[in-house]
Chain A
């Protein structure tokens, strides 16, 4: 533990920050519209201009979309780290808490009622996500403490229940079925500045867990041991669970359900920098953002003017990388 704390975390963070900046620039430089690098640079320097279509492609279409993708990637990766380590379960992803299914149910209700995309569908998704978090929380609360395993089971159960209701609504609302299916698949198509604003709300929640890095390190050894070492276990769990729930709800309400990033980025980062949260959290945040940014770049360019669902790309990019790192990790 002490050794872990002493190891400098800055080289890893600096390196992943470099990777993130590179991914951000590449994502902004390329897209299905044939803007040259010179033009892009020109737009960056002139700022948004009304009535100039190529300028609008950069400032109103590409930039907000890239930002939303990076923010959602970061949110899911941080939520993934928190939940995997609280549940001490490597198969956990941000969606096990049921928050995403609750959000999906909210969005589906919005679609079936033919409410407008913004703000209502997003608001309903957020409400659905938070309501699920609340229900799961109540189920797991016993005599003032949160039972992590009850929470996990309740989350999975609520998740199934919400999915079942979504399925029923899908069958009933034949005309809107594809809208629901596409929402469930997740996408950054058509996301603009209002979505960036919503995703930005999550930034404090991405940073907050950093202040609990030490507690999270100790909690890896179990709640009993953490109590013996003087960690305020219940308070830490409460803060972290709410944080992960908020991050997931916001990410899902903006993008729909995009798999793999929240599951695999934390594992990849553990293989790269180890389990210490002082580097695991920030590096996951940066690499989650990088991975989602690149995945969305591929999603919108590879078969343009068509788009590949971004969840498909995250899996295609992430799975081989993960298997490679797992093998390398085992050899080392």
Chain B
């Protein structure tokens, strides 16, 4: 009887454990799945067997084993590779890789706009991390030479997290990638909580001043402005990075004016531009410059950029505990 009871107890414990494991596993998987934004979709992590992920262009990338030799064709991709702990597998980067410090000493494949296929091949990478647009066209050439190509081209903040977890899988460092994604998720959750009850604030983000250019819709910058409790005036000009009419900027008179540091504009200069003294953002001292690397590079530092953005768009909410 007692043995019987023990046996039942053991069986129950086993079933319970199995149940917990299954639920936990499902939760982990669901966690991965929920990260899937515009950037692509993650597939179940597997320690053995082929790894399959979907990249920013919707293309399925399959690798039989985790990448061992990685070439990055964009500074953001290099940042992600180091952040997920695949820095030791990097064999080459671009001339513009400046973060983290170790990346600067990598061999270079040349410039961002015109990567040299021969040069890339000479490093014998098994995985090439490309950016969207012009670089997407390299894919077929590189694949013919036996390399796998993953295109990082996120259109949302979540999309960047997806790319990070995907690259974690492709490089065999799923856990560290998940930690990075969690940090980004934490920043997003914190910021969302801060601005939950705040009214949306019209925000203009200057990418360049002559001609006036902004971040339009379908960009992760636009998504981040929205997450930080703003409405992006630039989204009215269409997708990508469009030019923007100064007259329309004045007509809308956004209370917050943020210049990307890449525009080389300084808050003092912006206030001194003809007519700008009449803008609400200038009058009330809401003209800012944000570090280009924190909002324009689709990498882990966007978390920091998001926290910076909320300080500019909702200073009162950001200051509250």
Contacts and interface: CB of A to CB of B under 8 A. Distances in A.
B210 to A, nearest CB: 5
Given A175-B292, A179-B264, A190-B212, 6 more contacts: A31-B245, A56-B275, A175-B96, A189-B212, A189-B245, A305-B244
A157 interface: no
Contacts of A174: 95-96, 111-113
Nearest to B278: A56
A317 B273 CA distance: 31
A307 B243 contact: yes
Interface of B: 95-96, 111-114, 208-213, 236-238, 241-248, 250-251, 253, 262, 264, 266, 269, 273-275, 277-279, 292
Nearest to A33: B247
A222 to B, nearest CB: 44
Residue in B111, B243, B246, B273 with the greatest tally of chain A CB atoms within 10 Å: B246
Contact of A187 (B95, B211, B278): B211
A271 B84 CA distance: 68
Would you list the 3 A-B pairs with minimal beta carbon distance, nearest first? Answer: A60-B275, A192-B274, A189-B211
B245 A304 contact: yes
Main secondary structure of the interface of B (DSSP, over half): loop
Contacts of A191: 210
Given A50-B278, A56-B278, A171 B111 contact: yes
Given A116-B269, A171-B111, A193 B274 contact: yes
A306 interface: yes
B104 to A, nearest CB: 15
A114 interface: yes
Given A175-B262, A192-B273, A304 B112 contact: no
A33 B248 contact: yes
A193 B275 CA distance: 10
A176 to B, nearest CB: 8
27 contacts: A32-B248, A51-B278, A53-B279, A56-B250, A57-B250, A57-B251, A60-B274, A61-B250, A64-B274, A116-B269, A117-B210, A171-B113, A171-B114, A174-B95, A174-B112, A175-B96, A176-B262, A177-B113, A182-B211, A189-B212, A192-B274, A194-B274, A300-B247, A305-B244, A306-B242, A307-B243, A307-B244
Contacts of A32: 245, 247-248
A34 B251 CA distance: 8
B264 A116 contact: yes
Interface of A: 31-34, 50-54, 56-57, 59-62, 64-65, 111, 114-117, 171, 174-179, 182-183, 187, 189-194, 300, 304-307
B210 A189 contact: yes
A43 to B, nearest CB: 12
Contacts of B241: 178
Given A171-B111, A305-B244, A114 B274 contact: no
A179 B208 contact: yes
B113 A59 contact: no
A33 B251 contact: yes
A97 B250 CA distance: 39
Contacts of A53: 250-251, 253, 278-279
A158 B161 CA distance: 49
Given A32-B245, A60-B274, A114-B264, A306 B237 contact: yes
A174 B210 CA distance: 18
A61 B275 CA distance: 7
A208 B181 CA distance: 67
B265 to A, nearest CB: 8
B208 A178 contact: yes
B211 A62 contact: no
B209 A305 contact: no
A305 B277 contact: no
A305 B236 contact: yes
Contacts of A179: 208, 264
A305 B266 contact: no
A189 B213 CA distance: 10
A192 B278 CA distance: 15
A269 B157 CA distance: 55
Contacts of A189: 210-212, 243, 245-246
A196 to B, nearest CB: 10
Contact of A182 (B210, B245, B262, B279): B210
